[in-house]
Each structure stands twice: as C-alpha cells, then as structure tokens.
Amino acid sequence: MSYQGKKNIPKITSDRLLIKGGRIVNDDQSFHADIYLEDGVIKQIGDNLIVPGGVKTIEANGKMVIPGGIDIHTHFQMPYRGTTTVDDFAQGSKAALAGGTTMIVDHVIPEPGSSLMEAYDQWRQWADEKACCDYSLHVDITHWNDSIKQEVDNLIKEKGVNSFQVYMAYKDYYQMSNSELYEIFTFLAERGGIVQVHAENGEIIAEEQARMLQMGITGPEGHVLSRPEELEAEAVFRAITIASQTNCPLYVTRVMSKSAADIISQARKRGNVVFGEPITASLGTDGTHYWSKNWAKAASFVTSPPLSPDPTTPDYLNTLLSSGDLSVTGSAHCTFSVSQKAIGKDDFTQIPEGVNGVEERMTLIWDKAVTTGKMDENMFVAVTSTNAAKILNLYPRKGRIAVGSDADLVIWDTDSLRTITAKTHNSVAEYNVFEGMELRGAPLVVICQGKIVLEDGNMHVTSGVGRFIPCAPYPDYAYKRVKARKQLAVLRAVPRGMYDGPVSEFSMSRGGTPSASARTSPTKQPVRNLHQSGFSLAGNPASGHGLLRKPI
C-alpha cells in the first residue's frame, strides 16, 4: 500500500515522539510498552527503546494508549436542498479529534440521476481542502442503471472506495425496489464491495406519513410515529434475506432499535455475514424527546431511522455491542442549525434529518458500556476502531498499535468526568442531543498522523492535512467466509429421462414468465418408447437427490 500524501500540504514528517510508560490497549490484548513515532508512523514498540536524541517525550503514567477512533459514518458538509450541514469538514473533523477519533468515513450522496463519479470528486475536493484528520469515503447508490454499474466498478478499482450504501426508504427518491437491491447486491458481491443499507420500509413510511399529516400531527413527534421501529426491523430482515440469497456481506447502518438489533443478532447466529452499526445517538439517548414542547429541541433529535421512544434501547444496544452482535459504531454526525431544521416547522416530513455525535462517540461508549461492566477495554477498542478498520480493509494500517501502523493514537483518561453541553462542544450546532449528560472517560492526548492535536485541553489542528485513505475491495473480515461459501454453493440439476407423457392443452396467457415451453409433447419422435420412459405412476421413493445445499 502506498501512503501517498498530498503534495501541496506542508508535511509534518519531522515530528518525532516517544510515548513513555503507557499501557497499550489493542483489541486483542493490553500490555505495558513505550511507543516511538516518526514520520507519522509507529516505528518501535517495546521497553527501553533506542531513540534519537532530542525527541519529545510524553509521559503517559500508566494510562491507556489506544488506537485512534474511526468514525465509520459521518455527513460533514452535506448538501441539503441548497443549504449544507453546519459542520463542514474542518469543523467536523476538529470535533472528531476532540473526542479521540482520528479518522472519519464520510458518505458521498449523489443526487438521483447524477453521476457517482462527479459526486465523489466533489467530496474529495471538499475534504482535501478542509479535513484535519485522515478520511475515507462511502458512496451512496441513489439510483441504479448500467452507467452507474460502470461507475461503481471504476470507484472500486481506481478510486479506493469499497463500500456503497443503498436505501430501502425515501420512496420515489432514493428508495430501491427488491429487484434492484438483488441486482446491486449481486454486482457488489462479485466485485468485493460492502453493501451498506439504510434499512426502513419506505413504502409503509410514506403511507404512515400521509396518515399522520391527515390526523393533524405535523410536529416532530410525527416523525417517530410514522417510522415505528417495526419498519426498521422489517427492512433489516429483508436486507438480510437478499444478502443471504446473493451471498453478499451486508452492513446495516444506523441500528436504532432493539428489534432491528435482535434481527441482526439472530441472523448472525444463523451464520449470515452481517454487521450492525449503532450510532452515538442510539447508544446514548432515546426518542422520548420527540414529544418535547420545545419545537427546536424536538426537531434536533430528528434522524432516520428515528431514535426509539423505548428508554431501555440504549442499554440494550450497548449490551449487544459488548457481546459482539453489533460490530462497529458510527456517529451519523449530520448537524443542521435550528433555522435549517425549521424548514419543516409545519410538516415533520420536511425537517432535515441528522443528529450530532462525532465528538461524543467514544466517551459515550466508555461511559455506557465499559464503566458499567458490560465491555472490557479491548472490546472498546474493537468497536470504536479496529472492527471498522477491518471492514474497510484498512487494518492493520489503522485500528491497531503496531510497528508500521499509522501514528493515530489516543491516551485515554478513564477518570475524567465531564458534562456534555452545546456550550462547550466543537460542533457549531446550537443543540446537542446529549445535553446535560455526565460522561466518564475522555481523551487526554490525541495524536493524529504523529502530531499532537489535543493536549492539556487545547486543540492544535490544521485544516487540510487530512489524507484520503483508499480502501481495497475484498476485505478478509467480510469476504473470507463469503468466498468459501461460493465454492460450496454449487447447484446441480437432476439428470432425468425426458418426460414423454401427454401434455395438456394450455393457453399462454400468463404474463411475466421467463420462457415459454413448446405446447406439444415429446420434441423428438412422436412414437413413445415406453422402455425408455422415466415415468411411472406411484413411483418408488428411493431416489436420492444430488443436491448440495448452501451451507446456510
């Protein structure tokens, strides 16, 4: 893998750093060792390292040193009906770094009908200009035809994109039919891509929205009432079914409810290759706020699928995250100002969707899962960083503290206690959906590309230093099993004698059948040779069947 940075950016390669006395925590083990960083890469790990003189030393004093977090789901600077989200790549990645996340993966969302490649270039340009940390991109497939196929192919082969999101919701806009989903899944499975789905049943949502509005419910509570969690669970179930038919690894973005999470964990127990991504909001708060009397507050929680009104949801999702049934965490950070949200003041279906969470993600998981005893520190590293790196095929460059890996590190302070509030957060949004929550655990020092970006509570970020990290297709983490199954799942026809009995007269009026058979009986000779017939009434049931079923 060539780590090409951009030429026009002043490189920070002269930085040399020694982290002394820390406890390195990877997803598999924890151990005490020093780390020496040079040129943005981890050069040495061990005790009593021999390092050049004059190296800056950070004393970790036995604190945890973990791989920098990877936020696998953000929407920075996302265009929406002529406006953009208030956190651009600079502001968003700054917030990410403040929370201990050193890499983000943003979603490219082309308008339906426009070129994926152009949208990709546009996002690259925006991010290259402003991002303060490394980034990768997912590309959303918002419509499907042959030219899109070609573009997807190019994106995988030449542009370093290996994950594509499709939508089962947003009827008449982004939504794909089951047949289209089947084709996309098949196509991506052949090319080693990861299919991400936004899983909600868009058709039922459209009906429910119409019903809510008709009932006079126009406020943000209509959002959650028209998108009950069942619709999420249903779509997840359907997506898993299609993925299993097409033998394609599946990634469910934004797991927001208990029932959706249950479907994923059941499918994993059956052996399906499916990954679930709860987000900061679903792990930290619930949907009771949609009924807030304060419109602006209620609207700030609007995201899709919605937060579940069931207040036991966050705890449950944290449990499944700890047990490994859910695999990675994102933030789906997508912030709109109150005045932008107010586009939907008279009609909840017009409220721009999105919540904050990129900054709070790691702290929140530490507080809700690790300090409560659900999860250990290694699992914490797995769900905040390592698993994401594996799915994106960036491991071990990202997501691990090892010689040769990128120098994206966080010294984690398990004792810090702070209160989340919009006053102090790094996002420019006026609201924070976690307002007032006291959370334990926070980054003490953040090192990105070998440079200290957070120390003593002060941020030192440079806009534009973030590099695009290309992701290769066929990540082992998802495709090893898929490849093995492909070899097993060979279907064979049963060799039988030709049926040469009589055939009823029939009229081909039924539409949509793939091929019409000849109307007459035996195609060869009109004389039946009874000795060769494989046909017998009340035949013996002894016939074994030469079929190899799919193992799953």
Cα 348–357–103 angle (5° rounding)?
Answer: 130
> What is the three-class DSSP state of 504?
coil
* Identity of the residue, 129 or 347, whose beta carbon is nearer to another protein in the bound complex: 347
When asked if residue 225 is in the footprint of another protein (CB under 8 A), the reply is yes
Say how many C-beta atoms besides its own lie within 10 A of residue 224's C-beta.
24
Binding string, residues 419-458; x marks residues near another protein by CB under 8 A: --xxx----x-xxx--x-----------------------
- Amino acid making up residue 122: Q
When asked if residue 241 is in the footprint of another protein (CB under 8 A), the reply is yes
* Site for another protein, residues 380 to 399, rule: CB under 8 A: none
When asked if residue 81 is in the footprint of another protein (CB under 8 A), the reply is yes
- Could you please report the per-residue DSSP string of 350-391? GSPP-B--TTTHHHHHIIIIITTTSS-HHHHHIIIIIHHHHH
The distance of closest approach from Cβ of residue 47 to another protein in the complex, given in angstroms and rounded to an integer, is 46
Residues 6+ positions from 491 with CB-CB distance below 8 Å: 547, 548
When asked if residue 338 is in the footprint of another protein (CB under 8 A), the reply is yes
Taking CB under 8 A as the criterion, the residue among 7, 269, 293, 524 binding another protein is 293
The distance of closest approach from Cβ of residue 451 to another protein in the complex, given in angstroms and rounded to an integer, is 25
Applying CB under 8 A, the span of 37-45, 238-246, 326-334, 354-362 interacting with another protein comes to 238-246
Taking CB under 8 A as the criterion, the residue among 22, 67, 193, 219 binding another protein is 219
- Amino acid making up residue 136: S
CB-based contact 182:242 (threshold 8 Å)? yes
* Identity of the residue, 336 or 412, whose beta carbon is nearer to another protein in the bound complex: 336
* Identity of the residue, 45 or 296, whose beta carbon is nearer to another protein in the bound complex: 296
* Site for another protein, residues 124 to 163, rule: CB under 8 A: none
Say how many C-beta atoms besides its own lie within 10 A of residue 409's C-beta.
30
* Site for another protein, residues 85 to 114, rule: CB under 8 A: 86, 88, 91
> What is the three-class DSSP state of 534?
coil
> What is the three-class DSSP state of 452?
strand
DSSP H/E element including 158? helix 146-158
124 to 5, 329, 408: CA distances (angstroms): 13, 23, 21
* Cα–Cα distance, 244 to 481 (Å, whole number): 12
* Identity of the residue, 31 or 499, whose beta carbon is nearer to another protein in the bound complex: 499
Q: How many CA atoms lie within 13 A of 521 on its CB side?
A: 10
The distance of closest approach from Cβ of residue 127 to another protein in the complex, given in angstroms and rounded to an integer, is 16
* Cα–Cα distance, 548 to 148 (Å, whole number): 35
When asked if residue 515 is in the footprint of another protein (CB under 8 A), the reply is yes
* Site for another protein, residues 469 to 508, rule: CB under 8 A: 491-499, 501-508
Helices (H), 20-164: 89-98, 116-130, 146-158
When asked if residue 201 is in the footprint of another protein (CB under 8 A), the reply is yes
* Site for another protein, residues 343 to 362, rule: CB under 8 A: 343-347, 349-350
When asked if residue 231 is in the footprint of another protein (CB under 8 A), the reply is yes
Say how many C-beta atoms besides its own lie within 10 A of residue 122's C-beta.
16
The distance of closest approach from Cβ of residue 461 to another protein in the complex, given in angstroms and rounded to an integer, is 16
CB-based contact 22:35 (threshold 8 Å)? yes
The distance of closest approach from Cβ of residue 475 to another protein in the complex, given in angstroms and rounded to an integer, is 25
The distance of closest approach from Cβ of residue 429 to another protein in the complex, given in angstroms and rounded to an integer, is 9
Taking CB under 8 A as the criterion, the residue among 1, 29, 53, 172 binding another protein is 172
SS3 content of the chain, % helix, strand, coil (to 5): 35, 20, 45
Applying CB under 8 A, the span of 10-18, 152-160, 170-178, 188-196 interacting with another protein comes to 170-178
Binding string, residues 294-333; x marks residues near another protein by CB under 8 A: xxxxx-----------------------------------
> What is the three-class DSSP state of 419?
strand
* Identity of the residue, 29 or 513, whose beta carbon is nearer to another protein in the bound complex: 513
The distance of closest approach from Cβ of residue 56 to another protein in the complex, given in angstroms and rounded to an integer, is 32
Query: Where do we find the tokens 């098949």?
Result: 186
